[in-house]
Chain A
């Protein structure tokens, strides 16, 4: 390789490295007089802490409102005594000597303002940081009465909040942990993980670039998450939009709706309906109390123990179903369909993937392109069965006690019927050339129509139950703990939609 080429390669890779580094530290890198002060939202070097406190008495009979504004430091709100708001500011100054740090810290002020029941908490950090003489963090610790309605805005600092009536929190570049909120919670998080638990009302979460973990939410939940995994446990009705991250939900008391993109979706113990769509990943459901509608582009759908009906559509992925009590409709483009324990029949259409139904009752209609069909009802056939396979075979197990009118045709294969008692009324063609058979079993009554380019085979099997066990019900979602919630909470605006 010539020196010219090596030079260009180094130039391009160096350019790429510079761009990637600039992308990683964008907005977070500043060089001050003491050297590198901030990388990814944190200060480094020797530091000294100083504290300042304030207290504010609150008027009786009115729910306190708390507004907090902060940056480059944590915010902590915890339940305190009624009638008073206690605020502590911890100032951490990054300077080489305590003397210099103390002099700088004296310029940082805690500001508590507002009138009546409104308390605004902040600092003068914007005025102080304008000179860029030193790096400093402002950590706010607040004790608020349990009836407090809190609003928090913070950047580059962790937010911990608990024991208030309701909250509206926006945080970026660090984590958020919120628990024991009696009413509603609105949470916006960017570039940090978010955790919320023990929410007595509704929950609304918007998150970008961070993991979201929620649990024990009494009310309805709305999630809008991109670039982060979602974990939800024991919630009310859940409506989620998730992109570029996995989604897992357990114990949803109401309906579940998920619109995913590049998101693997797992959900179990859903009391209501489940309506899921995603792409480039699969959908996996277990124990759903209502209907299911699952659409996966470039992904598979698996579902077990569904009490209602089910609609599943995939491209480039299989559909696998176990124990569905309602009617099933499954469409798989470039994928197969496998089902067992289907209590109310199925309409199945596939291309390029096998169809195998093992244990079913109710009408069944199967259409397979470039694939074979295998049907094993297990119970005596009591509803019509229609199956067609282009470029494939059809196999049907005939349980004992079935009564059917058979109409079968193998266009280019052989037709075999190993069914004692089947009275053939019409046979035409020959194996390989339109081999057709019509007949009755047990006096007839149920239409069974089979068409295949390949072989068609019928075989008698002993009758039995269609599944090894009945459809499992969703596990009950226990309500969130309310014993530790603040007393006399305001009525949450969004009640949990119980089914």
Chain B
């Protein structure tokens, strides 16, 4: 039976969309200023994706070995 597929880019996109939506809502509510926050933190999306890719690679290698 094949292993259920895990897509790092799918998770990344999902997390980014959730974060963007929450941030946009908070901005509309006047809780945060959107541009400075997005400008500061957007590179984390790349870092998150990279971590997920590494985790995926590691999981695949581990399962291949066993």
Contact = CB atoms under 8 A, between A and B. Distances in A.
Q: Count chain A CB atoms within 10 A of each CB in B16, B38, B43, B46 and give the residue with the most.
A: B38
B22 to A, nearest CB: 16
Nearest to A17: B42
A19 B39 contact: yes
A23 B35 CA distance: 7
Nearest to B42: A16
Contacts of B38: 19
Nearest to B45: A12
B49 A15 contact: no
A22 B16 CA distance: 19
B46 A12 contact: yes
A8 B13 contact: yes
Interface residues of B, number: 14
B42 A15 contact: yes
Contacts, number: 29
Interface in A1-27: 4-5, 8, 11-12, 15-16, 19-20, 22-23, 26
Interface string B22-66: 000000000000011011001101100100000000000000000
A492 B49 CA distance: 61
Interface size class of A (residues with CB under 8 A): 10 to 19
A12 B16 contact: yes
Nearest to A5: B9
Contacts of B35: 19, 22-23, 26
A20 B13 contact: no
B15 to A, nearest CB: 12
Contact of B9 (A8, A20, A22, A26): A8
Interface residues of A: mostly helix, strand, loop or mixed?
helix
Nearest to A15: B42
A11 B36 CA distance: 20
B39 A23 contact: yes
Interface in A416-448: none
Contacts of A8: 9, 12-13, 49
Interface string B7-19: 1010011001000
Given A5-B9, A12-B49, A23-B35, 20 more contacts: A8-B9, A8-B12, A8-B13, A8-B49, A11-B13, A12-B12, A12-B16, A12-B42, A12-B45, A15-B42, A15-B45, A16-B42, A16-B43, A19-B38, A19-B39, A20-B39, A22-B35, A22-B39, A23-B36, A23-B39
Interface of B: 7, 9, 12-13, 16, 35-36, 38-39, 42-43, 45-46, 49
Interface of A: 4-5, 8, 11-12, 15-16, 19-20, 22-23, 26
27 contacts: A4-B7, A4-B9, A5-B9, A8-B9, A8-B12, A8-B13, A8-B49, A11-B13, A12-B12, A12-B16, A12-B42, A12-B45, A12-B46, A12-B49, A15-B42, A15-B45, A16-B42, A19-B35, A19-B38, A19-B39, A19-B42, A22-B35, A22-B39, A23-B35, A23-B36, A23-B39, A26-B35
